[in-house]
Amino acid sequence: MSEQPEHQESERPEHQESERAEHQEPERAEQQEPERAEQQENGESTFTVLVAAVANLGIALAKAVAGVISGSSAMLSEAAHSVADTVTELMLLVSLKASDKPADEEHPLGYGGARYIWALLASVATFVGGGVFAVYDGIHTLTHGEDPGDPLISYIVLAVAFLLEGYSLRTGLKQARGEADRFGVHIKRYLRHTPDTAVKAVVMEDSAALVGLVLAAAGLLGGQLTGSGAWDGVASLCIGVLLVYVAWVLGHANSELLIGRPLPPEMRAVVRAELLADPHVVDVIELTTLLQGPKEALVAAKVDFRDMSSAADIERACDRMARRLQERFPAIRRVYLDPTPGPAQDSGVSPAASSR
């Protein structure tokens, strides 16, 4: 039986080549599907970040002018907040571009990690450019005093900024909700665990911006009613603490992904079950998964095959299992399976006894 295919291949090489080409066409199509999905996702993320960047740039200029005219430290802190957000979004755009490069000889696993490096730098910019400045300005106002100016222009700028930030947040939430629905999870869970830190950053920063606007308005109102600049200083301090918290959350999420985060436990259980479902597999001795990007994951496993399986059986089983995993989870781009003898074989148990 084993000689017949070799004989047919030698007699009809053109026929065999055409069959291979026919089989390779759907394979290439399947491989291109996750790439198209990732390109679409990157396009949505880019649009979301662009909307946030344009909105924050305009808001930063308006807040700075209003802060200088009114003499409000809370408004100046909000201006620093918006400048930090603009820098953050520019870095996120760089991260999306850098991570979009295909794998090459020098970087065989791709450039997915570049996204998290730039996103980590963006969180540092939020911490230094926004949080530290706001805390310093608040302390300076409380210790040196401040005469509240005319808050009218500040109220107008805050109202316009609230509308623009709200639109930017709506764009980010729309994308996040779509992804959460696709995975069948609540949006809060998606934002907590998503490897797409660009969308997470936009949603968190815009949410913090809306809270900051309310705090700045409260500081202005308190100063207007009491004639004391302390309210403005307290508002500035609160804005600074809020920004430090957002920067810490985003920095922690990106550092976790840079260090190496596995697939969620539910997905790992399904991957293990898919491997064990193959008739030639006895056990999955070790399973390692790694998120390499928002739409890119790696699976590596040490698999114990039946002792009666031939080398050809094992090769076909490995190919079959890799296909099943990639069909089930298109984000799994790379599957590495290592045939490894199980503990029963290492301890000298007979092949018949260890096979099942």
Q: What is the pLDDT of residues 169-219, one digit of tens each?
A: 888 899 899 888 887 888 998 888 888 888 888 899 889 889 988 998 998
SS3 301: strand
Q: Where does the pLDDT of residue 248 fall: very low under 50, low under 70, confident under 90, or very high at 90 and above?
A: very high
Measured distance CA(195)–CA(109) in Å, rounded: 17
Long-range own/partner contacts, residues 282-289 (CB < 8 A, 24 or more apart): 282/306, 282/342, 282/354, 282/355, 282/356, 283/342, 285/340, 285/342, 286/340, 288/262, 289/262, 289/263
**Strand 281-293 versus strand 332-339 pairing type:** unpaired
Q: What is the pLDDT of residues 263-300, one digit of tens each?
A: 989 899 999 999 999 999 999 999 999 998 888 899 99
Q: Model-level pTM?
A: 0.72
- What is the enclosing helix (H) or strand (E) of 194? none
Per cent of the chain over pLDDT 70 is 83
Q: Where does the pLDDT of residue 157 fall: very low under 50, low under 70, confident under 90, or very high at 90 and above?
A: confident
Residue 291 burial (C-beta neighbours within 10 Å; 0-12, 13-18, 19+) = buried
Instruction: Please state, rounded to an integer, the average pLDDT across all residues of the chain.
Output: 80
Closest by CA to 86, choosing from 60, 113, 119, 118, is 60
Where do we find the tokens 């291949």? Answer: 9
